[in-house]
Amino acid sequence: MKTVHLVQHTHWDREWYFTENDSKAVLYYFMDDLLQRLEQDKSLGPFVLDGQTVVIEDYLSVAPHQEARLRKLVEQGRIVIGPWYTQSDFLVVGAESITRNLLLGHADCQRFGGTMPIGYVPDSFGQSAQLPMFLQQFAIDYAVIWRGWSEHNVAHSEFSWQAADGSKVTTAVLPWGYGCAKWLPDDPQAGQKALETILAKQTRFSLTDHVLLPNGNDQSPFEYRVPAMLDKLNHQQDDYHFVRSSFSQFFEALDSVHITLPTYQGELISPKYMRIHRGIFSTRMDIKQLNAQLEQTLSQHLEPLLVLNWRLGLPYPQHAVDNIWREAMKSHAHDSIGGCNSDRVNAMVKNRLESGLEMANQLIDLNMKMLAEGITAQQDGKKIIIFNARPQTSAGLVELTIFTPEQDFRVVDGEGKERRWQIIEKSRQDMSIIVQELSNSTETTWYRKCLLLLEVADIPACGYQTLYLQEGVGAGFERQIKSAVKLENEWLRLEADKRGILTLTDKRNQQVYRNILQLVDGGDAGDNYNYSPPFEDWLINSDEFLTSINGEQGPLQSRLTLNWQMAVPQDLAARKERDANAELDITMSITLVNNNAWLDVAIDVNNTVRDHRLQVLLPTGVEQLTHFADQPFGLIERPNLPPEMAVWQEEQWTEAPVALYPMQSQVMMHNDTRGLCAVTKGLREYQIHEDCQDVIAVTLLRSVGWLGQANMPYRPGRASGMVLPSPDSQIQGLHRFKLSVLAMNNGADHRFWHDVELARGNLHAWLATGWSRFRTNPHGRVFPPHYSVLTWDTALHFSTLKKAQHSDALVIRGWNPTAQTLPCGTVIANGEITSVTLAETPLKALQESVPTCAPATFVITFEGAKTC
For residue 41, the one-letter residue type is: D
Inter-CA distances, 75 with 68, 79, 81, Å: 10, 8, 10
Of 699, 805, 835, 809, nearest to 96 (Cα)? 805
Question: DSSP code of 847?
Answer: -
Q: Could you tell me which residues come within 8 angstroms of residue 178 by beta carbon, excluding any fewer than 6 positions away? A: 9, 11, 122, 123, 146, 214, 216, 217
Q: At what angle do helices 303-311 and 343-374 cross, to 10 degrees?
A: 30
Output the DSSP codes for 266-305: S-B-B-SSS---TBTTTTTHHHHHHHHHHHHHIIIIIHHH
Report whether 169 contacts 132 (CB < 8 A).
yes
Q: Is 5 left (phi over 0), alpha (psi -120 to 50) or beta?
A: beta
Measured CA distances, 799 to 389, 678, 757, 796, 838 (Å): 10, 19, 11, 9, 12
What gap in Å lies between CA 418 and CA 74, rounded to an integer? Answer: 63
* Contact (Cβ atoms closer than 8 angstroms) between residue 413 and residue 467: yes
- What's the CA gap between 444 and 421, in Å, rounded? 29
Q: Report the 10 Å Cβ neighbour count for 248.
A: 16
**SS3 state at 563:** strand
Cβ neighbours of 449 (radius 10 Å): 17
DSSP secondary structure, 634-652, as one string: EEEEEESS-GGGGTTTTTT
Beta bridge partners of 737: 603
Largest CA distance in the chain: 95
Residue 585, burial from CB neighbour count under 10 angstroms (0-12, 13-18, 19+): middle
Q: Using CA atoms, how far apart are residues 420 and 238, in angstroms rounded to an integer? A: 84
Report how far apart the first and last C-alpha atoms of the chain are (Å, whole number): 50
Q: How far apart are CA 259 and CA 116, in angstroms?
A: 24
Residues 6+ apart with CB under 8 A from 393: 458, 459, 460, 461, 791
- Whether 123 is a known active-site residue: answer yes
d(CA 103, CA 99): 6
Give yes or no for a contact between 100 and 54, defined as CB atoms under 8 angstroms apart: no
SS3 assignment, position 533: coil
Interatomic CA distance for residues 351 and 291, integer angstroms: 11
- The candidate with the shortest Cα–Cα distance to 281, out of 716, 684, 753, is 684
Please count the other Cβ atoms lying within 10 Å of the Cβ belonging to residue 698: 24
State the Cα–Cα distance between residues 637 and 749, nearest whole angstrom: 16
3-state secondary structure 776-787: CCCCCCCECCEE
Pick the catalytic residue: 58, 108, 123, 521? 123
Quick one: which H or E segment has residue 455? strand 446-459
Supply the residues annotated as catalytic.
Answer: 123
